[in-house]
Amino acid sequence: MSSKVTALQIDSIETLSEKTQAYFDVCEEKLGLVPNVLKAYSFDETKLRAFTDMYNDLMLADSGLDKLEREMIAVAVSAVNRCFYCLTAHGAAVRELSGDPVLGELMVMNYRVADLSGRQRAMLDFTVKLTERPEEIVESDRQTLR
């Protein structure tokens, strides 16, 4: 097994379309930075748009979940996937949206020890099971969420 690590050099972006530059300007204004995941896609406008369209649909479109719940799900999935980048970004969003820095930290470390509502716990238990063992999801799992 190879232990070679590959990294993208994404510090400077040579040319961006006017639309992408405007989007990055909004990120800079709202977040204070342009997330690296967006910079990484910026070499190809089609890929960047596909990623941002998917993200916006998942995180902002109408659903029965509020923004905090969506970020909590993102933290749980990121923990299962051991993605430090996503844990950092979504954990910060949980801290900000909840106004509770302890909740954000506990979510990143282990959501099972956080003070959650029954709805939130069921939602996250389902999410983790779906991420780790999707073949085991059965109708009773879905019914638990109702």
What is the total residue count of the chain?
146
Rounded CA Rg of the chain: 17
CA–chain centroid gap for 34, Å, is 15
CA distance 3 to 25: 37
Q: Is residue 3 domain-resident?
A: no
What's the one-letter identity of residue 32? G
What's the predicted TM-score (pTM) here? 0.82
Q: Residues 78, 111: one domain?
A: yes
Q: Which domain holds residue 132?
A: 67-144
Q: How far apart are CA 57 and CA 60, in angstroms?
A: 6
pLDDT in tens, 99-112: 999 999 999 999 99
Q: Scanning the structure block, which residue is given the tokens 């020890």?
A: 113
Q: Are residues 52 and 81 in the same domain?
A: no
**CATH for 30:** 1.20.5.810
Residues 40 and 98 in one domain: no
**CATH assignment at residue 131:** 1.20.1290.10
In this predicted model, what pLDDT tens digit does every residue of 35-67 receive, in sequence order?
888 988 888 889 999 999 999 999 999 999 999
Residue 2 lies in a domain: no
The Cα–Cα gap between 94 and 67 comes to 9
Q: Per the structure block, which two tokens stand in for 35?
A: 């997330």
Residue 12 lies in a domain: no
In a domain, 6, yes or no: no
pLDDT at 6 over 70: no
